[in-house]
């Protein structure tokens, strides 16, 4: 594809729509977020002592105040 598009005769035949159609072929291999390896056989070693984990809510905490009061 690079050799064909390097030829001015062929590159000049492409319209804006043609370039848009080729765009996925040129950019689908790019991952802007990097590579993530997922290992389902290991656990994350998170320090749960540093995180503040809230306890269960009481019924009064979960209710919104009535409108107009």
Does 22 fall in a domain? yes
Give residue 3's domain range: 1-26
Does 36 fall in a domain? no
Does 13 fall in a domain? yes
Does 11 fall in a domain? yes
Does 35 fall in a domain? no
Q: pLDDT per position in the chain (69 positions), as tens?
A: 788 888 888 878 888 888 888 887 777 777 778 777 888 898 887 777 766 777 788 777 656 656 655
Does 14 fall in a domain? yes
Domain count along the chain: 1
Nearest to 25 by CA among 55, 5, 45: 5
User: What pLDDT does 25 receive?
Assistant: 78
Does 6 fall in a domain? yes
Does 52 fall in a domain? no
């Amino acid at each position: 594809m690079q050799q064909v598009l390097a030829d001015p005769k062929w590159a000049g035949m492409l319209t804006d729509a043609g370039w848009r159609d080729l765009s996925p072929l040129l950019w689908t291999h790019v991952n802007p977020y990097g590579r993530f390896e997922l290992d389902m056989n290991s656990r994350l070693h998170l320090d749960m002592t540093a995180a503040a984990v809230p306890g269960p809510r009481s019924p009064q905490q979960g209710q919104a105040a009535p409108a107009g009061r």
